[in-house]
Amino acid sequence: MIANKNIFLEKKILIYGLGKSGLSSYKFLNNKAKVYLFDDNLKKKIRYKLTQRIRDVKVISKIKFDCIIISPGIDILKCKLSKFLKKNKSKIYTDLDIFYSYYKNKSITITGTNGKSTTAKILHEVLSDQKYDCRLIGNIGNPALSEKKITKKTIFVIEASSYQLDYSKVFTSKYSAILNISPDHIERHKNLKNYINAKFKLLNSQSMDCTAFVKKNDLLINKKLNSKKFNPKIIRVDLKKTNKIIKQLKNKYFLSSGNLENLSFVLQISETLNLNSKILIKTLNKFKGLKYRQQIIYENKNLTIINDSKSTSFASSENLLKNLKNAYWILGGIPKKGDQLNLSKKHYKNFKTFIFGNNYKDFKMNIKNKLKVKNLEYLKDILNEIFLDLKDNKIKKNTIFFSPAGASFDSFKNFEDRGKYFNQLIKKFLNGKK
């Protein structure tokens, strides 16, 4: 592990990708190094007052850079600088590497296939209520390098994606957490092994005085842990060990198995940090969740409507589906390669399934005829059918569960855009303005 705070100082650096993380890297390094910039869609970035911009790939290829800071969204195999990046792979870093080279503060880094954002958010609120100067950064919150007024006591909660970890070289975290692992982002990582290795970079970078929290009963995690020896202290998080605290909670948000698993990590980390349990319970009881992540957007005695637009895989939908009865499950978008529905037969009778969009056949293939599904192109038409069915439905308590289990980019900018659209449709249906 390299830990030289001057690794980026007074160096010739290319920042590739001018999204939030790229721009924050530029602002941070601009007076500390000779910074060059590039983006595949540079014309869209004109609004930013950038003093140094390189638009010509040929010009970049002739420059000998000391470091290349790459944004998480850049796939080095599928970008305008692909050939150049392949030749200079050893020089590629991330904004997390810059962050660590300048700040040696205590950090808690959260990764995993599902639940990262929620777990990070809960942990941030828990630590803040315990009077820590806690900052939420990474995939959720602010970019790592945009934080101000950092002191020695500042503690960071970081949500880290496999993309960030895959390209990082010097970043390490005092505490790390791998919540779970299931096949995901295979189109980017090419195979499951590479995806798992990217996640485990967190543990690879840790020393013996660090701690790693991992899900106890996760097949892929356990297989990796058994394959080699890791330096940090390994704590296997078991939901059963945290039951004492869970029994004291009154928050319905933690009824689903997925949210309970997220909570078990927070509780285990809280115990390690010796946090005040009374304050902890108060924080957890008032936690309302994140937008479009198993978010209850409407509820009365007969109907609950849940917006889980963030769901981009079967695994993320399954956790709540296991706990639902008399539900209408709406899915659609772009299914992930190799994704499969792993619910047992006993759950199938608990919900009716609808697929929206043009990828019905792909979803159907992944479901493998386990469920009877109905396909309608438009989400509005599905909701129309559901609300008509509800009129004739004699069951007192029903749930509409919008959990797409697929990426949103077929019809929407992102999952937030998709979630917002669903909320708008629901509002119209509830007001009789469909």
Candidate from 40-44, 49-53, 335-339 with smallest mean pLDDT: 49-53
On whether the CB atoms of residues 150 and 127 are closer than 8 A, the answer is no
Tokens representing 127 are 């630590």
Residue 317's alpha-carbon distances to 40, 115, 238, 338, 410, in angstroms, are 34, 11, 21, 16, 19
Which pLDDT does position 184 carry in this prediction?
A: 74
Mean predicted confidence (pLDDT) in 58-85? 90
What does the pLDDT average to over 387-412? Answer: 90
Higher pLDDT, 61 or 137: 137
pLDDT score of 297 more than 80: yes
Average pLDDT, the chain: 88
**N-terminal to C-terminal alpha carbon distance within the chain:** 58
| pLDDT interval class at 65 (50, 70, 90) | very high
pLDDT score of 54: 63
pLDDT (0 to 100) of residue 412: 92
pLDDT of residue 364: 81
* Model confidence at 190: pLDDT above 90: no
**Confidence (pLDDT) at 52:** 52
Confidence of residue 280 (pLDDT cuts 50, 70, 90): very high
More confident residue, 23 or 368: 23
% of the chain surpassing 70 pLDDT: 94
Distance CA 301, CA 269 (A): 36
Mean pLDDT of 249-271: 88
C-alpha–C-alpha distance, residues 37 and 54, integer Å: 6
pLDDT digits 0-9 by tens, 211-241: 999 999 999 999 999 999 999 999 999 888 7
Residue 367 has pLDDT above 80, yes or no: no
Q: What is the pLDDT of residue 50?
A: 61
Whole-number pLDDT of residue 1: 35
* Cα–Cα distance measured from residue 266 to residue 86, given in angstroms and rounded to the nearest whole number: 39
347 vs 269, 310, 360, 364, CA distance in Å? 32, 22, 21, 18
Domains and CATH numbers, the chain: 12-93 (3.40.50.720), 96-286 (3.40.1190.10), 295-430 (3.90.190.20)
Q: Find, among 343, 334, 328, the residue nearest to 390 by Cα.
A: 328
Q: Is the pLDDT of residue 51 over 60?
A: no
The fraction of the chain above a pLDDT of 90, given in percent, is 56
Rounded to two decimals, what is the model's pTM? Answer: 0.81
Confidence label for 20 from pLDDT (cuts 50, 70 and 90): confident
pLDDT in tens, 321-355: 888 889 999 999 998 877 788 888 788 788 899 99
Tell whether the model's pLDDT for residue 200 goes beyond 90: yes
Query: pLDDT per residue over 153-180, tens digit each?
Result: 999 999 999 989 999 999 999 999 999 9
- Using alpha carbons, list the distances in angstroms from residue 393 to 303, 326, 328, 389, 390: 11, 10, 12, 6, 5
pLDDT single digits (tens) 85-124: 999 999 999 999 999 999 988 999 999 988 899 999 999 9
